[in-house]
Amino acid sequence: MADTPEHDGELPPRHDISRIEAHRPLGATHGVLRGHGPVAARQNAKVLPFPRRPKLISKSALQGLLTDHARLRDLCDELESLADCLPAYPPLEDRRTLADKIERATIAHVKTTSSFLGRFFSGNEPSVTRSILSRILLRQISDAMHAEDTADILRSRSLTPAAIDMLSYMLRFLFEGGRRALDCERLFLLSLGSTRLTRSALANLEGALA
């Protein structure tokens, strides 16, 4: 039995089935009838499938991603506050707690985003969509590696002036890059996923960008 698209009982705004890319025919049936008389051939009897309808993205399906985005944006604000306080910095125990928080949030974001995109944007996507998806996921891997390096410095028992300068740079790179990544993911959904979002999901996404 085919999967039933998950939605809130409403269709996306501006939903246009004609925009769904038609699949190529599954194949052609060629038959040759042999008998005592002349040979007859059936000419290219093609079977045309129904176009596959993409999964709709409901408000509830989108909520997990937006919750993760909100958590990561709060972390970016916390990192910015720490960077603004340097060269003064919190005690080792607080820095270790923040380092653990950075690693947990980064890992959760990669998992949440990968799961969401794989659920709703896998299959026969246009080449431009596949390219953007690859870019998003590769950027997340790069950000995760940088987050790990930042967490290692935060766990240092003492910070030299040179280490403080490096930490300031790494913190700003992390929270500025994190905010850009979140905006990129949301804009991707608004532009390329707009025909798949239900009205309530679209309203929530637009509210998150406001």
Distance CA 72, CA 99 (A): 14
In this predicted model, what pLDDT tens digit does every residue of 39-53 receive, in sequence order? Answer: 443 444 444 444 455
CATH number for 60-209 (one of 2.60.40, 1.20.1280, 1.20.120, 1.10.3470): it is 1.20.120
Q: Please name the helix (run of DSSP H) or strand (run of DSSP E) that holds residue 161, with its range, or none.
A: helix 161-192
Please tell me what DSSP assigns to residue 18: G
Distance CA 59, CA 25 (A): 34
Q: What is the pTM of this model?
A: 0.69
Cβ pair 136, 128 in contact under 8 A: no
In this predicted model, what pLDDT tens digit does every residue of 133-183 receive, in sequence order? Answer: 888 888 888 899 999 999 999 999 888 999 999 999 999 999 999 999 998
Domain regions of the chain by residue span? 60-209
Residue 121 CA, distance from chain mean position: 9
Residue 37 CA, distance from chain mean position: 62
Q: Please name the helix (run of DSSP H) or strand (run of DSSP E) that holds residue 61, with its range, or none.
A: helix 59-85
For 40, 118, 136, 195, the CA distances from 129, given in Å and listed in that order, are 46, 12, 11, 14
In this predicted model, what pLDDT tens digit does every residue of 98-115 receive, in sequence order? Answer: 999 999 999 999 999 989
> Which DSSP string do the residues of 32-58 spell out, in sequence order?
EE-SSS--EE---EE-PPPPPPPPPB-
